[in-house]
Amino acid sequence: MKKTSTRLADGRELIYYDLRDDTVRDAVDRRPLERTVTTSEVRRDPLLGDEVAIASHRQGRIYHPPANECPLCPSEGDRLSEIPDTSYDVAVFENRFPSLAGDSGRCEVVCFTSDHNSSFADLTEEQARLVLEAWTDRTSELSHLPSVEQVFCFENRGAEIGVTLGHPHGQIYAYPFTTPRTALMLRSVAAHKEATGGENLFDAILEKELAGERLVLATDHWVAFVPYAAHWPYEVHLYPRRRVPDLLALDEEARTEFPQVYLELLRRFDRIFGEGEPATPYISAWHQAPFGTLEEFESVNRDDFALHLELFTIRRTSGKLKFLAGSESGMSVFINDIQPESAAQRLREVASS
């Protein structure tokens, strides 16, 4: 992998990740852009104790442009985009309309391929491995920023999810705090550790799912299963067999095997609802341990956390979506229309031949 860092016309960072070491990246951003000005701030809810990012400047972001005006495609002739070069393997750049910026963190866009009509599931294993290396590198770099406490790599796919750009891409949020979801996990891990005399909750869950009916697939280095209390109609959690706190700690064997496993899961998601159905909308989310202090969680340290990926869709059946209505949005109590065991069985049935 070759990494090349440069700057866009408005000063934002752009990083190319290339498969070939002899690739030269010297294209200049020719757009007449003024320096990006954001109004992002983080406010803490005194009742719930969580943080909310206020980012009113995002109202002006690009919304469903035609394919020939996609800002994530390579630049070509007079059609100038966020990527100045005429091609790329993987490209990462600072979001022009970030939810978090400055002392409030940082947001980046990860372009998985220059092919506008592709998807992550269409990547080769070599390309998927390069994306993994980009996620890992950005996690490392962002973790050293003084304002960053947690790094979150994710992908939203599909208009149903709220995606406004159809090009295959994901995002990275570098938060200046530990997110509420992670804090809940850490508290559960701490309570379980105390109640069992030291047992790790993530390890216990993985051991149980390996022997159960919600297992989707298992390889030498990865395990995928539908969780016991799945929140979403089709939801899969992917864990490395060896517990590590973040992407940086994955060993070479797990890195090598990841593309095969992850691409298989994505392709199964596209087959859940049968032939002829539109591509399955999904969210794919990496959960990594925070880089800040974990003093508030008492007996827990970073090594107690287990890196894992959560992949889920809001489509519950053909032509029908799962909406977060009163119970979910008002009380954070999810109601799942699909039995997790049935979801796991379906995901096993649609395995590649």
| Vertex 274 angle, CA 126 and 110, to 5° | 35
Q: Which of 116, 144, 167, 169 is catalytic?
A: 169
Q: Is 234 strand, coil or helix?
A: strand
How many CA atoms within 13 Å lie on the side-chain side of 208? Answer: 9
- In one-letter notation, the amino acid at residue 290 is P
Nearest to 16 by CA among 108, 91, 127: 91
Q: In the numeric block, which tokens belong to residue 177?
A: 């705090």
Rg (CA), the chain: 20
Alpha carbon distance 218, 186 (integer Å): 25
Residues 6+ apart with CB under 8 A from 246: 139, 151, 288, 289, 302, 307
Element (H, E) at 188: helix 180-196
Residues 6+ apart with CB under 8 A from 230: 312, 336, 338, 340, 343
The DSSP letter of residue 279 is P
Residue 169 known to be catalytic: yes
Element (H, E) at 269: helix 252-269
**Number of helices (H), then strands (E), in the chain:** 6, 15
Q: Annotated active-site positions, please? A: 169
